Copies of this chain bind each other. A is one copy, B any other.
């Protein structure tokens, strides 16, 4: 990638980490955890997906434990949430927009990193989705609630879509910067549409609902 795009990639990563960390901090505040708990849930939400990705593809130690910029962004967001949580909760609409950007960046970057580590196509798609939703799942498990992403909302589907597109493009030799950024944009837009239209994944019929 060009320098310009490396910069853009880093900015997307930092935005994703910061916003995911805000979501972790808010769950911790709601659960009345202490400062350490707020920082751990912020870190788990922000860095957990990438740590899972790196453990699964054997890229150790995980960047979530070694890149000081990502760790600092997560810690800063944790402290901001700890100090100003009513304010953070009040701008939750705006946070959801940034969260969609983080989801998009993590899914696409996760799949690309897996491909770069030599995994097959199916593995790369799954690793992309795990990168995107793994942090939120870890946050909720540590906070003692059933993971949000498993309960409602179209959250994982856009991630799956973006991961699949870059992996297919890679395997058919059509991967380009345009495809990468187009995929990120697509994930973002699909996720925002789901937020705005309040789209949910289908739930099982209750027993007795149908004949």
Interface residues of A (CB under 8 A from B): 28-29, 31-38, 40-41, 51, 55-58, 60-62, 65-66, 68, 71, 82, 85-86, 89, 114, 119-120, 122-123, 126-127, 137, 141-147, 149-153, 155-157, 200-205, 207
Given A35-B203, A123-B61, A157-B36, A150-B142 contact (CB < 8 Å)? yes
Contact of A57 with B60 in the complex, beta carbons under 8 Å? yes
With A33-B151, A55-B55 given, can you name 8 additional A-B contacts, CB distance below 8 Å? A32-B204, A34-B152, A34-B200, A37-B147, A66-B123, A82-B204, A141-B142, A144-B146
Q: How many copies of the polypeptide does the oligomer hold?
A: 3
- 5 intermolecular pairs with C-beta atoms under 8 Å apart: A33-B151, A34-B152, A37-B147, A51-B56, A56-B60
Contact of B58 with A61 in the complex, beta carbons under 8 Å? yes
Q: Which of B36, B68, B202, B207 contacts A34 (CB 8 A)?
A: B202
A-B complex: 5 closest residue pairs judged by Cβ atoms? A37-B150, A34-B201, A144-B146, A58-B60, A66-B123
Question: For chain A, what secondary structure do more than half of its interface residues adopt (helix, strand, loop), or is it mixed?
Answer: helix
Instruction: Tell me the smallest distance from the CB of A61 to a CB of chain B, in Å.
Output: 5
Query: What chain B residues lie within 8 Å of A85 (beta carbons)?
Result: 204-205, 207
Query: What chain B residues lie within 8 Å of A62 (beta carbons)?
Result: 56
Query: What chain B residues lie within 8 Å of A202 (beta carbons)?
Result: 34-35
Taking CB as reference atom, which chain B residue is nearest A130? B65
Q: Which of B38, B66, B82 contacts A120 (CB 8 A)?
A: B66
Instruction: Tell me the smallest distance from the CB of A168 to a CB of chain B, in Å.
Output: 15
Contact of B36 with A149 in the complex, beta carbons under 8 Å? yes
Instruction: Tell me the smallest distance from the CB of A109 to a CB of chain B, in Å.
Output: 17
Query: What chain B residues lie within 8 Å of A57 (beta carbons)?
Result: 60-61
Contact of A204 with B149 in the complex, beta carbons under 8 Å? no
Contact of B146 with A36 in the complex, beta carbons under 8 Å? no
Instruction: Tell me the smallest distance from the CB of A69 to a CB of chain B, in Å.
Output: 11
